[in-house]
Structure 1
Amino acid sequence: MKKTLAPALLLGALLLGAPLAAQSFEVGLFVGQQQYPSPHMDVAPGTTLKVEADNKTVVGARFGYSVVDFGPVLLQLTAGYQPESKSTLKASLGGAPMAESELKQSHWSAGAMFNFKAVIAVGAGLEFRSESLKETTGDSTTYNRVWARVNAGYAFPSPLVKPFIGVEAAFPLSSKSNDFASAADLLKSLAPKSQIGIYAGIRF
């Protein structure tokens, strides 16, 4: 009985492990617009204190590792880094300009992505981002939250490496709105609300 079961168990293990055998790597670059919210607070009837950050073009790098490649479905683990970007920060009271400074923002991320392979491939996933937020006055904080990512693109056929290019959008699943309670809370209220741009790279 043991001799009969052993080959069957080995075959079963090989079949279960087959989707994991086609592991591959991805290195990509995101370039796009990062949008910010505009927190505001009514300080008197008809008078509003408002803080705005200009939209900013940002660049981020991402590394992916495919752990399951089975039929049209690809499951990928990802890690990313977006270096510090600076956006002009403007405050106004009742529509009258007050002061200007800079909002500095960067992040690192880790997540997972499902890709559905076709002529135009589409993907969706979640990633944890640790966002560093700083203001030129010296105030700073770290904002940890989960973002959703969706993309659609095309991979060029190639025997060795496969270049790809597509469009991508990302949105946080949580946010802090209109919180002037402290400098850290205000910075979190100014944290990015979306990213839309081009994502390109190679798979090998």
Structure 2
Amino acid sequence: MAPVIHYATFPVSHVGIERFPSLKKAFGQLNKAEGHIESFHGLQVAEEGPNNIYFISIWESSSLHRKFKEISMVNRETDIAKQFEPLNEAVSVAGDQFFHHEFNVVKGTAIPGLESKTTEIVIITPKEGASYDKVREAGLKVRDVLDSNGHSAAFAESVQGDGMFLMIVGWLSSTHHLNTVKEEPYISLAKEFREVGNISFSHANLTKNHDE
């Protein structure tokens, strides 16, 4: 079974940089969760502001991720949930600015891209009139070219089957990414991809979660 990526983001103003240390202990609990593979958190790069905060975790299955979510964010009386309270409060304040989704990995490995100095996070949906299969095909083509040229990339599709895709790519910096894609074969690939997909991307500096 392919790994599942849980992607969550909201404006950092809803949690506050000063509260990051209090969240580290909670993040460490993820490493003890059944089915957890790796998880990361971090901020959008400063040059892209306003900054968002990102939480990205990788699980053996969607059901095991949801089991942990039930323990940590739904049943508020558990010890784990109490450690996650600052995050729960931030999510509540963020309201409709909180976005989260689950994706099945189709091809590639997300961890190298998440461990890179800068991680490109791409959300893709089909353009009106474009088929799911065409977008999937174009996304996989982009992933393959990036990966074969030394830019670790993973492509994933929505668990919910709603036509949304996620791509994770590792770079040295956002500038490294933007300068690289000014050249072929990336110019042509991007043009083909944008003909069928609505593409939104951002860059983040992520830290792997460790036991506290």
Report TM bin, short chain.
Answer: under 0.3
- TM-score for both structures, normalised by structure 2: 0.24
Greater relative contact order structure (CA < 8 Å, 6+ sep): 2
Structure 1 length-normalised TM: 0.25
Q: Which has the higher strand share?
A: 1
